[in-house]
A and B are shown apart, each in its own frame.
Chain A
């Protein structure tokens, strides 16, 4: 019986070891679950939009609800100008949501519980948003760091603060998702371990906790995907509409 609560986060290679130059690019369980996530999303949307009936069936309704949910989120937070970025945000939301949810199934691997994965997503968003901002406003985008109505004396300090605030975005974005997922899964495993070690006599209390925590974790899995997507929208909004 595995009792180490951190063991579930171990990345193991599957199949042969592939080394390209200095980089180990072997296929790992993390990569496997990313493939599973992407395949599941693709299958889900192909199957659910197969019929295209006017009165949607259950699957089609679910797909339409997800579409409308994300579309509404984008138009609420970033406005109509952000419509071209809808595919990216939908993909992002679905990837995070599905990897969180698949991670809730016992014996699976949670891709988003690794900071490499979440930070890679966040840094892509960070650079993407910055590039969009510069393409849209040119050098004027730097005005983002100079809020209006600040006394000249304080300006250097404010600019430093604004730059740090801007740079902290990818960190907070990635750490939030990673920390929530890792903490939740560790906690589940710890309580699961209590059930085993306390046995038939005292194991019922932690078992109850485990059940409750599983419910909470499913909520967190959804919310973190939602927060990740909505923050992307907010950053996009800052880049598209330059005002503070």
Chain B
């Protein structure tokens, strides 16, 4: 009986501690992701636009268009990442 009680106590204590620490760590880690997620999409899209412009000789229109598409993609990325936080 005694040992069972102790087991329960240990389980309760360890599970609380672990989840609290892990949650906080997770949230902080994911929060740090969001910034770069956005910037990377804009960067990649503008890069694609820049080289498409060079190739098709339509400077600067495609780059401008792709910049905005990239901004949209960045927002989508951020929304997706934050959805993942909420799911956890």
Footprint of B on A, CB under 8 Å? 157, 160-161, 164-165, 167-169, 171-172, 175-176, 179-180, 223-224, 226-227, 230-231, 234
Contacts and interface: CB of A to CB of B under 8 A. Distances in A.
A172 B45 CA distance: 13
Contact of A165 (B33, B36, B39, B76): B76
B29 A164 contact: no
Contacts of A168: 37, 40-41, 43-45, 73-74, 77
Given A223-B32, A226-B29, A164 B73 contact: yes
B81 to A, nearest CB: 10
Contact of A175 (B30, B36, B74): B36
B69 interface: yes
Closest 7 CB pairs of A and B: A172-B40, A171-B40, A168-B40, A176-B36, A168-B41, A168-B44, A172-B36
Contacts of A234: 84
Given A164-B73, A165-B76, A227 B29 contact: yes
Given A160-B69, A161-B76, A175-B39, A227 B32 contact: yes
Interface SS, A side: helix
Given A172-B36, A223-B29, A165 B77 contact: yes
B44 A164 contact: yes
Contacts of B45: 164, 168
Interface in B2-48: 25, 28-30, 32-33, 36-37, 39-41, 43-45, 48
Contacts of A227: 29-30, 32-33
Most chain B Cβ neighbours within 10 Å, of A161, A224, A227: A161
B60 interface: no
Q: Which of B39, B44, B76, B84 has the most chain A CB atoms inside 10 A of its CB?
A: B44
A54 to B, nearest CB: 19
Given A160-B69, A161-B72, A161-B73, A167 B44 contact: yes
A175 B40 contact: yes
29 contacts: A157-B69, A160-B69, A161-B72, A161-B76, A164-B48, A164-B69, A164-B70, A164-B73, A165-B76, A167-B48, A168-B37, A168-B41, A168-B43, A168-B73, A168-B74, A168-B77, A171-B40, A171-B43, A171-B44, A172-B36, A172-B39, A172-B40, A172-B41, A176-B36, A179-B36, A180-B32, A223-B25, A223-B29, A231-B33
Max chain B CB contacts within 10 Å: which of A165, A168, A226, A231?
A: A168
A235 to B, nearest CB: 13
Contacts of B40: 168-169, 171-172, 175
B25 A176 contact: no
B69 A161 contact: yes
A165 B32 contact: no
B70 A176 contact: no
Contacts of B72: 161
B62 to A, nearest CB: 12
Contacts of A179: 36
A223 B40 CA distance: 20
